[in-house]
């Protein structure tokens, strides 16, 4: 077999494996199917001096809050997963379906909360439940402060590449790239071996 013949076969090998990989990606996209939608509920709370704080103490309380430790402590309490059982019960879903996060916004007295769920209403309801359950405890462990909701829980659908044409495109591209890489690897292997030697038979 000559060198040109080997190179010609190698090119067809790369093309064939690339096409085969892309086709396998399309098949995989069809098999995977649509992933169920997820929804994200968000809310914002502000930490302030507790109601009834004497005027002479207001300045000192705000100075403590500006340090950030109180809001970080409160966020840690608000983000505990222990609140999810009751929240799931109120939202009519399972606690395992909920994902909860809370974090202090740097250089402010604000705390942002995020909760994911399988339904739009369930996400907002569950987050409202967490706030109702945890606010008093989160404020009390942080000091003589209070938590005020400044942005009520609202939910939106999370964008996902797992559905529709995006999923098909990603899997097709990935399959094609895998096939192309495999074809190149086999081509290099054939090139190293070189053409088969020929022998003259007397």
Q: Which residues of 102-122 are buried (b: 16+ CB within 10 A; e: fewer)?
A: bbbeeeebbbbbbbbbebbeb
Domain ranges of the chain: 3-34+161-193, 39-157
Percentage of residues of the chain with pLDDT beyond 70: 80
DSSP 8-class letter at 109 = S
Question: In the sheet that 39-49 helps form, which strands lie side by side, from edge to edge?
Answer: 99-104, 110-117, 39-49, 145-157
pLDDT tens digit string along 53-75?
A: 888 888 888 888 888 899 999 99
Question: Rounded CA gap, 64 and 148, in Å?
Answer: 17
Q: What is the pTM of this model?
A: 0.63
The mean pLDDT value for 13-23 works out to 76
pLDDT tens digit string along 119-141?
A: 999 999 999 999 999 999 999 88
CATH classification code of 39-157: 3.30.70.1130
Question: Rounded CA gap, 9 and 90, in Å?
Answer: 65
């Amino acid at each position: 077999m000559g060198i040109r013949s080997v190179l010609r076969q190698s090119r067809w090998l790369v093309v064939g494996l690339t096409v085969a990989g892309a086709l396998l990606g399309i098949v995989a996209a069809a098999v995977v199917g649509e992933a169920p939608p997820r929804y994200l509920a968000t809310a914002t709370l502000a930490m302030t001096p507790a109601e009834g704080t004497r005027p002479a103490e207001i300045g000192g309380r705000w100075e403590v809050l500006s340090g950030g430790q109180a809001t970080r402590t409160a966020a840690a309490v608000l983000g505990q997963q222990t609140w999810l059982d009751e929240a799931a019960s109120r939202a009519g879903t399972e606690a395992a379906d909920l994902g909860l996060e809370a974090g202090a916004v740097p250089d402010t007295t604000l705390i942002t909360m995020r909760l994911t769920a399988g339904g739009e209403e369930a996400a907002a309801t569950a987050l409202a439940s967490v706030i109702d359950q945890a606010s008093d405890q989160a404020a009390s462990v942080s000091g003589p402060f209070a938590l005020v909701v400044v942005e009520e829980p609202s939910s939106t659908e999370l964008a996902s590449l797992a559905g529709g044409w995006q999923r098909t495109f990603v899997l097709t591209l990935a399959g094609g790239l895998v096939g192309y890489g495999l074809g190149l690897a086999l081509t290099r292997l054939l090139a190293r071996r070189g053409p088969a030697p020929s022998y003259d038979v007397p």
